[in-house]
Amino acid sequence: MKRRMLSLPPKIRAWFILVLLTGPLAGPLLAEGKIEPPVPVRTAAPDVPAEFVQDGRPGLVTVNFIVDEQGAVQDPKVEKTTSAMLDHPAVQAVKKWKFRPARKDGVPFAMRVSIPIRFDID
Protein backbone atom coordinates (compact mmCIF):
# COMPACT_ATOMS: atom_id res chain seq x y z
CA MET A 1 0.00 0.00 0.00
CA LYS A 2 1.39 3.35 -1.03
CA ARG A 3 1.29 6.26 1.44
CA ARG A 4 0.14 9.62 0.20
CA MET A 5 1.87 12.66 1.56
CA LEU A 6 -0.11 15.81 2.13
CA SER A 7 1.07 18.61 -0.06
CA LEU A 8 1.18 21.92 1.74
CA PRO A 9 1.35 25.17 -0.19
CA PRO A 10 4.75 26.86 -0.16
CA LYS A 11 5.31 29.83 2.09
CA ILE A 12 4.97 33.07 0.24
CA ARG A 13 6.65 36.19 1.49
CA ALA A 14 6.40 39.72 0.25
CA TRP A 15 9.16 42.11 1.24
CA PHE A 16 8.76 45.86 1.25
CA ILE A 17 11.55 48.39 1.27
CA LEU A 18 10.73 52.08 1.19
CA VAL A 19 12.82 54.04 -1.28
CA LEU A 20 12.32 57.74 -0.73
CA LEU A 21 12.98 60.95 -2.56
CA THR A 22 12.91 59.73 -6.12
CA GLY A 23 13.28 61.93 -9.15
CA PRO A 24 15.33 64.98 -10.09
CA LEU A 25 14.10 67.15 -7.20
CA ALA A 26 15.38 64.85 -4.46
CA GLY A 27 18.77 66.54 -3.99
CA PRO A 28 17.53 70.16 -3.83
CA LEU A 29 14.61 69.16 -1.60
CA LEU A 30 16.92 67.66 1.00
CA ALA A 31 19.14 70.73 1.00
CA GLU A 32 16.27 73.18 1.62
CA GLY A 33 15.22 72.23 5.14
CA LYS A 34 14.59 69.45 7.63
CA ILE A 35 12.75 66.66 5.81
CA GLU A 36 11.01 63.78 7.56
CA PRO A 37 10.14 61.09 5.00
CA PRO A 38 6.75 59.35 4.99
CA VAL A 39 6.52 56.35 7.30
CA PRO A 40 4.18 53.40 6.70
CA VAL A 41 1.69 52.98 9.56
CA ARG A 42 -0.47 50.31 7.90
CA THR A 43 0.58 47.89 5.17
CA ALA A 44 -1.16 45.07 3.32
CA ALA A 45 0.47 42.05 1.76
CA PRO A 46 -0.35 41.41 -1.90
CA ASP A 47 -2.47 38.50 -3.05
CA VAL A 48 -0.25 36.08 -4.91
CA PRO A 49 -1.52 34.51 -8.14
CA ALA A 50 -1.62 30.70 -8.21
CA GLU A 51 0.39 30.68 -11.47
CA PHE A 52 3.21 32.47 -9.67
CA VAL A 53 3.26 29.86 -6.90
CA GLN A 54 3.41 27.08 -9.51
CA ASP A 55 6.22 28.85 -11.36
CA GLY A 56 8.35 28.77 -8.19
CA ARG A 57 10.68 31.67 -9.01
CA PRO A 58 10.98 34.86 -6.93
CA GLY A 59 9.64 38.12 -8.33
CA LEU A 60 10.11 41.84 -7.76
CA VAL A 61 7.74 44.71 -8.54
CA THR A 62 8.73 48.31 -7.86
CA VAL A 63 5.69 50.54 -7.36
CA ASN A 64 6.06 54.33 -7.59
CA PHE A 65 3.39 56.56 -6.05
CA ILE A 66 2.65 59.77 -4.19
CA VAL A 67 2.05 59.83 -0.44
CA ASP A 68 -0.25 62.86 -0.06
CA GLU A 69 -0.47 65.33 2.84
CA GLN A 70 -2.95 63.04 4.64
CA GLY A 71 -0.75 59.93 4.22
CA ALA A 72 -2.88 58.29 1.51
CA VAL A 73 -1.41 56.59 -1.56
CA GLN A 74 -2.12 58.41 -4.82
CA ASP A 75 -1.34 57.50 -8.45
CA PRO A 76 0.44 54.13 -7.96
CA LYS A 77 2.25 52.87 -11.06
CA VAL A 78 4.55 49.96 -11.75
CA GLU A 79 8.06 51.28 -12.28
CA LYS A 80 9.85 47.95 -12.82
CA THR A 81 8.77 44.33 -12.76
CA THR A 82 10.18 40.85 -13.19
CA SER A 83 6.78 39.29 -13.85
CA ALA A 84 3.71 41.03 -15.26
CA MET A 85 1.44 38.64 -13.32
CA LEU A 86 2.60 40.30 -10.07
CA ASP A 87 1.95 43.90 -11.17
CA HIS A 88 -1.76 44.10 -10.35
CA PRO A 89 -1.48 42.41 -6.92
CA ALA A 90 1.42 44.70 -5.96
CA VAL A 91 -0.45 47.87 -6.97
CA GLN A 92 -3.67 46.75 -5.26
CA ALA A 93 -1.78 46.04 -2.02
CA VAL A 94 -0.02 49.43 -2.06
CA LYS A 95 -3.37 51.20 -2.54
CA LYS A 96 -4.37 49.86 0.91
CA TRP A 97 -1.30 51.27 2.64
CA LYS A 98 -1.47 54.28 4.97
CA PHE A 99 1.46 56.53 5.87
CA ARG A 100 2.41 59.22 8.30
CA PRO A 101 3.00 61.91 5.65
CA ALA A 102 6.34 63.46 4.85
CA ARG A 103 7.06 66.70 6.70
CA LYS A 104 9.26 69.62 5.87
CA ASP A 105 10.05 71.77 8.89
CA GLY A 106 7.06 70.13 10.61
CA VAL A 107 4.55 70.81 7.81
CA PRO A 108 3.04 67.79 5.96
CA PHE A 109 3.62 67.68 2.21
CA ALA A 110 3.12 65.23 -0.65
CA MET A 111 6.14 63.16 -1.68
CA ARG A 112 6.72 60.68 -4.48
CA VAL A 113 8.20 57.36 -3.31
CA SER A 114 9.09 53.97 -4.76
CA ILE A 115 8.64 50.68 -2.98
CA PRO A 116 10.11 47.43 -4.27
CA ILE A 117 7.90 44.50 -3.31
CA ARG A 118 9.71 41.18 -3.42
CA PHE A 119 7.76 37.94 -3.79
CA ASP A 120 9.59 34.84 -2.51
CA ILE A 121 8.40 31.24 -2.44
CA ASP A 122 9.84 28.93 0.21
DSSP 82: S
Residue 19 lies in a domain: no
Please give the pLDDT value at position 87.
Answer: 97
Please give the pLDDT value at position 41.
Answer: 96
Phi-psi region of 51 (alpha: psi -120 to 50; beta: other; left: phi over 0): alpha
Number of domains composing the chain: 1
Instruction: Produce one character per residue of 85-110: b if its CB has 16 or more CB atoms within 10 Å, e if not.
Output: bbeebbbebbeebebebbbeeeebbe
Q: What residues make up the domain containing 93? A: 31-121
What is the H or E stretch that residue 12 is in?
strand 12-16
Residue 36 lies in a domain: yes
Query: 24: exposed, middle or buried (C-beta count within 10 Å: 0-12, 13-18, 19+)?
Result: exposed
Q: What is the pLDDT along the chain (122 residues), one digit of tens a residue?
A: 444 433 334 444 445 544 444 444 455 555 556 899 999 999 999 988 888 877 778 899 999 999 999 999 999 999 999 999 999 999 999 999 999 999 999 999 999 999 999 888 76
CATH number of 103's domain = 3.30.2420.10
Please give the pLDDT value at position 28.
Answer: 52
Record the pTM.
0.72
Q: Are 9 and 53 in contact (CB under 8 A)?
A: yes
Residue 7 lies in a domain: no
Residue 113 lies in a domain: yes
